[in-house]
Amino acid sequence: MIVAVVAMPDSPSSSTSLAERPARRPFVVITGLSGAGRLTALHVLEDLGYVAVDNVPLPLLGDLMRSTAGSLGEMAVPLAFGVDTRTYGFDSKDLVRRLGQLRQRPDLAARLLYLDCDSEILQRRYTESRRPHPMAPDRPVIDGIVDERRQIGWMGDAADVVIDTSALSPHQFKQILAGHFALGNKVGMTIAVMSFSYRRGVPRESDLVFDVRFLKNPHYVPELKGLTGIDRPVVEFIATDPDYEPFVGRLEGLLGPLLPRFDAEGKSYLTIAVGCTGGRHRSIAVAERLADWLRSAGRSVTLMHRDTDVRGGQGAASVSGGGV
C-alpha cells in the first residue's frame, strides 16, 4: 500500500505505557516539490518496513496513528507519511509547528524529509510525463513550479533531512534513503562516498566536499583518456603525483577523529563527495581509495560515481544522471 501524509497524531494510545515500548516509533513525514520524488521515497521506505501512506486528509491523521499503534506489548509499526500542497488541510507553517511538538514526544522518532530538485529538471519531468503541475493545471508548468517553491521552499530549512534529486538515479536515491531511514539496530552511521564532476555542480546532499583537481590529470594522456579512475593504469598514473600520497594521508588523518564525533552526535548518514573536472579519473580514483580505507576501518560504506557510468567498489551502484 502506498499512501502518505503529514501532520500529526493526537496523544499516544493510553493502552500502552512508554515502559512497554522497546524503542521510539519511527515516524517520517515526506514533503517537498511536486515531481521531486515523493512517491518514489514512499515506495523505498515501504520496502524498508514502513507503513507508507500518501495524501491522507490531515484531520484523519490521528486516527491512522492510533490504528497502527499496536496492542499492549506490541511495537507500533514505523510510519512514513507523504504530504504536499494538494493534501486536504495542508498548511506548511502549521505542519512544521506540529512536527516540532512531535519531536518532543518520547514515544516517537519524528523526522521531516524534504525533497528538492532544480526547476529545469522538474519542468523536463513534467513535460516527459505530459502531466500538468498540480499548482498550475491550466498554466505553464514553470508557473506551478515557481508558485510551489515560493510557498513551501522554506521548509527545507526546518527539515531533518534534505535530498536534492536533480542528478540522482533511482538507485542512488534509494541508497541515500536507506542510509537515513533504515530500520534496525545499526552500529555507527552509514557513509556514502561519491565522486562527481564540477562541471555538473557540487552534490547538494554532500556533508564534506574535497576538490582533487590539483592532481595530475590523466585526461591529457591519450592512452588514459578513455579509461576511468577504477582502471589500474589511471590509478598508477595519479599515484605518480608527488602530492597524492601526502594528500590521502592528510585526508585520512582528518576523517579519523571526525567520524567518532559524528557517531556521538547520533548522525546516521554522512556523504563525502570527491570532485574533479570531469568526474571520470581523479575523483573516482580517490573516492575508491577512500571507500576502501573506510571499509578497512570497519565502516558501513556505499560508493557512487555520480557522473560516470561505472561500477563502484564491492558492487556499489554508480549510475549517471537519470530522474527519480
Domain shared by 162 and 205, yes or no: no
**166, 199, 219 - which closes a domain:** 166
Tell me how far apart the 2 most distant CA atoms of the chain are, in Å.
72
Domain shared by 107 and 245, yes or no: no
Cα–Cα distance measured from residue 156 to residue 115, given in angstroms and rounded to the nearest whole number: 8
Domain shared by 6 and 154, yes or no: yes
Range of the domain at 112: 2-166
The answer to whether position 82 is within a domain reads yes
Domain shared by 126 and 259, yes or no: no
pLDDT of residue 323: 37
Per DSSP, which regions of the chain are E strands? 2-3, 25-32, 51-54, 79-82, 108-116, 161-164, 190-197, 208-211, 269-276, 300-305
The answer to whether position 112 is within a domain reads yes
The answer to whether position 320 is within a domain reads no
**Tally of domains within the chain:** 2
Domain shared by 114 and 204, yes or no: no
Q: Specify whether the CB–CB gap between 238 and 228 falls below 8 A.
A: no
Domain shared by 18 and 155, yes or no: yes
The answer to whether position 55 is within a domain reads yes
Stated pTM of the model: 0.68
Domain shared by 124 and 197, yes or no: no
Of residues 117, 152, 172, 132, the one with CA closest to residue 6: 152
The answer to whether position 160 is within a domain reads yes
pLDDT of residue 21: 37
pLDDT of residue 273: 96
Domain shared by 135 and 275, yes or no: no
- Torsion angle of C-alpha atoms 194, 198, 202, 203, degrees rounded to 10: -40
The answer to whether position 178 is within a domain reads no
Domain shared by 122 and 214, yes or no: no
Domain shared by 125 and 41, yes or no: yes
The answer to whether position 173 is within a domain reads no
Cβ density class 144-156: b for 16+ within 10 Å, e for less: bbbebbeebeebb
- List average pLDDT for each run of 10 residues in the chain, which is 324 residues long: 34 36 78 93 92 83 74 72 86 88 87 94 89 87 92 92 89 87 74 93 90 96 94 96 97 94 84 95 97 93 86 39 37
**166, 200, 227 - which closes a domain:** 166
Distances (CA, A) of 321 to 9, 146, 165, 191, 249: 38, 23, 10, 21, 31
pLDDT of residue 316: 37
Domain shared by 198 and 116, yes or no: no
The answer to whether position 125 is within a domain reads yes
pLDDT of residue 3: 34
Instruction: Read off the CATH number of the domain in which 92 is found.
Output: 3.40.50.300
**166, 182, 198 - which closes a domain:** 166
Rounded to 5 degrees, φ, ψ at 88 are -60, 130
Domain shared by 247 and 120, yes or no: no
pLDDT of residue 99: 87
Residue showing cell 576502501: 292
